[in-house]
Structure 1
Amino acid sequence: MSSLADELKQMIIDVLALEDIAIDDIDNDAPLFGEGLGLDSIDALELGVALKKNYNIHLNAESTETREYFKSVHSLVQLIESQRQN
């Protein structure tokens, strides 16, 4: 899992231009929004586009499941792995 998690962390840093953050600064289980990394809804949209482009993952912005996937790097890894199995 670590390589996909690191890949996702790098994508988050690149897509959102988080210049002061390194891969090691992002905990796999830390919240991406609010108290964790501090991302907002616009960041979520940009991440959704990047996930679609890089991993061919289609998300429903209104879905409760989607909010669950965006909780942490770990939950995004689980999403990508589950989509790859389909």
Structure 2
Amino acid sequence: MDELELEVKTLIVNALNLEDIEPETIDSQEPLFGDGLGLDSIDALELGVALRKTFGIKIESVNDDVKAHFANVRSLAQFIRSQRAE
């Protein structure tokens, strides 16, 4: 398992207090919202704050690109990597 993806999964579980879910059981390509992990818009805001604090990334405004980054764990990890590279 990709180390950064596991960090993101752990952050999701801890930041959103998902007590019934173990980070290792989250599929990296499972949708985070809707029928996937079942997160909602409030969770998205809390997750955005946690990502900023933990990884120092900037999320300027919600647009289609940002929504695509939050699609699943793998896309979030790729977004973090791209932000770190800048």
Per the TM superposition, whether the score is higher than 0.5 is: yes
Q: Please report the TM-score for the alignment, with normalisation by the length of structure 2.
A: 0.95
**Residues paired across the two proteins, number:** 86
Alpha-carbon distance in 2 for matches of 1:80, 1:62? 16
Q: Which runs of 5+ in 2 are unaligned?
A: none
Alpha-carbon distance in 1 for matches of 2:3, 2:62? 29
Alpha-carbon distance in 1 for matches of 2:62, 2:69? 12
Runs of 4+ in 1 over 4 A off after TM superposition: none
Deviation, 1:64, is 1.1
Report the counterpart of residue 77 of structure 2 in structure 1: 77
Report the counterpart of residue 34 of structure 2 in structure 1: 34
RMSD, aligned CA: 1.1
Q: Percent identity?
A: 50
Residue 57 of structure 2 contacts residue 84 of structure 2 at CA under 8 Å; is this kept in 1?
A: no
Q: Please report the TM-score for the alignment, with normalisation by the length of structure 1.
A: 0.95
